[in-house]
Structure 1
Amino acid sequence: MAPAAPPHPAPQVRPATTADLESIAALHTAARAAYLRGRIPDAPFDAPAEHARWRDAWARVLHHDEAPTLCAVRHGTVVGAASYRLHASVRGEPPRTAPASTVKLHQLHVDPAHWGTGVGRALHSACLHAWRAAGCSRAVLDVLWHNHRARTFYSSLGWCPDPDRRPAPDAVHLALTLCLTPPKGPPAPAAP
C-alpha cells in the first residue's frame, strides 16, 4: 500500500515578480489583520485602504534591487512571501562590492489559511540558503512584541533576542538575531 500523501504538499519557493504583487499584498494584509485583531479587535486592518497601503509598500520592495523577495506557491497560488536586505542597504548606505556579513529579514508573511502548514518554514529555509550563499554570517529581524505566534515561530528556528539591539522601555518590537555560521565542531582527529 502506498503511503498517504501529506495533507499539505511542500510549497514551491521562488523569486517573486511584479505579477505576484496583488497576491502578496492580499496575504500580507490578511496576516497582519489576523495577528493584530487579537490586540485591537475593532480596528479595520483588512480594509481596502490597508490593502492599498501594503500593495504600495510591496510594489516598492519588488522594484528595489537590493531587497530580494521570495514567494511560496502551493497549487498555483501565492501563499507566503519574504523579503530581506543586506545590512548596508538597511541602513541606507550605498551598495558595497564586498558581501555584507549581516542580513535583515524585512518581511515574512504567510496567508493565515496556510499557517502551520510549512509555508513559513519553507520561506525561512530558502532565505537561510540565500543568505549563506551570499556570505552572510548573521541575520537580524524585528518582531512585534505582542505577536506571540511569530515570536514562537522564530524561537523554534533558533532566533534569539539580539543583545546588541536592546529595545527602548516603550518599544513595541523585539529585535532578534540568528547566527548563520555553523558551530565549530571538535577538531578533526590527527592522522596516524
Structure 2
Amino acid sequence: MADVGVRPARRTDAAAVADIQVRAWRAFYRDLLPGAVLDEVTSPAARDVWRERWAESISAPPSPRHRVLVAVAGSSAGGPPPGPPGAFDLVVGFAAHAPAEDADAAPGTAELLTLLVDPAHTGAGHGSRLLAATVDLLREDGAETLITWVFEADEAMRTFLGSAGWAPDGSSRTLDMGEPVRQIRLHTDIREPRGRAEP
C-alpha cells in the first residue's frame, strides 16, 4: 500500500526537485520549446544550477509567502525504514508559488510559478493534490486570486487547470527563445465558496 501526500519542501529535496524538473521538461516540453533551448536548460550543467537554485528557494525564500511544496509517495508495507521521519518519502512532483508580481495584479493575487509531476508518476493525482495544497495555503495567507503563465500550446496543462476552474484572463506574452514562444495567463478565484444561509 502506498502513502501519498504533499508537504513543504526541505533543502534535501532540492536534487529531487531539479531532477523532476529536467525529466518533466524533456517529456512534456519537446513540442513547446525550440530543441536547442530545451537541450540547454536540461543539460547536466543546467541540472546542477537548478539544484542550487531550488536549494536556495527552499531554505532562504524571499518572503514567508514564497513556498515550494512536494508531492511524495512511499511504501508503508512493513512500516518506514530506519531513519528520520520522512526519510522514506519519494518526491514525485512539486509546485512553487509566490505573491504575484505582474504590474496589473490586484492586491490579494498570488502566482503559481510552476507545477510539475515526474513523468513516471503522472495520472496518480499528484498534480491535483499539489494544486489543492497550494490553494489551501494561499487562502490562509488571505489570497483571493491565483494566476499562472502557461505555454499557449500546452494543451495538457491548460486542460488540467481548466478542469480545476482556471480560465484565460486575456493577458499574453511572447518569449524570445531564438524563435517566439507565446504564453497566456490563466486565473482562478480561490476564495472559499460562501455557504447558503441557514433558514
TM-score (norm 2): 0.76
Higher strand proportion (structure 1 or 2): 2
Q: What's 1:114 paired with?
A: 121
CA distance in 2, matches of 1:77, 1:12: 10
- Structure 1 residues 125 and 176: alpha-carbon distance in aligned structure 2, compared to 1, 3 A threshold: same
- Residue of structure 1 in register with 2:80 after alignment: none
- Aligned counterpart, 1:167: 172
Q: CA RMSD in A?
A: 2.4
User: Paired residue for 1:73?
Assistant: 72
Q: 1:129: how far off? A: 0.7
**Relative to structure 2, which stretch is displaced further, 105-114 or 10-19?**
10-19
Q: Is the 8 A contact 1:83 1:108 kept in 2?
A: yes
- Preserved CA contact (<8 Å) 1:82 1:109: yes
Cα deviation per residue 1:53-95 (whole Å; 9 max; x = unaligned)?
A: 32233233212142111111101210011111123xx369xxx
8 A Cα contact 1:10 1:118, kept in partner: no
CA drift of 1:184 comes to: 4.8
1:182 Cα deviation after fit = 3.8
CA displacement at 1:112 relative to structure 2: 0.7
Name 1:97's counterpart in structure 2: none
Letter in 1 for 2:4: P
Matches within 5 A, 1:21-36: 21-36=14-29
Identity value in percent: 29
Q: 1:65 to 1:139 in 2, by over 3 A?
A: same
SS in 2 for 1:11: strand
Equivalent residue runs for 1:30-45 within 5 Å:
30-39=23-32, 40=34, 43-44=38-39
What are the Cα deviations for residues 83-140 of structure 1, in whole angstroms up to 9, with x where unaligned? 11123xx369xxxxxxx61111111111011111101001011011111111111101
What corresponds to 2:98 in structure 1? 85
Q: Match of 1:12, as an amino acid?
A: G
Match of 2:151 in 1: 144
Question: What is the DSSP-based 3-state SS (H/G/I as helix, E as strand, rest coil) of the residue aligned with 1:162?
Answer: strand
2:55 is matched with 59
Q: Does structure 1 residue 179 correspond to structure 2 residue 178?
A: no
Preserved contact between residue 10 and residue 119 of structure 1 (Cα < 8 Å): no
Superposition deviation, residue 185 in structure 1: 6.0
Q: State yes or no: 1:50 paired with 2:63.
A: no
Contact 2:151 2:181 in 1 (8 A): no
SS of equivalent to 1:123: helix
Residues 10 and 179 (structure 1), Cα distance of their counterparts in 2 relative to 1, 3 Å cut: farther
Q: Is the 8 A contact 1:85 1:104 kept in 2?
A: yes
Does the 8 A contact of 1:34 with 1:112 survive in 2? yes
Equivalent residue letter for 1:157: A
Describe the superposition over 1:31-60 as per-residue Cα deviations: whole angstroms up to 9, x where unpaired. Answer: 111112234567525421231232233233
Q: Distance in 2 between matches of 1:168 and 1:82?
A: 22
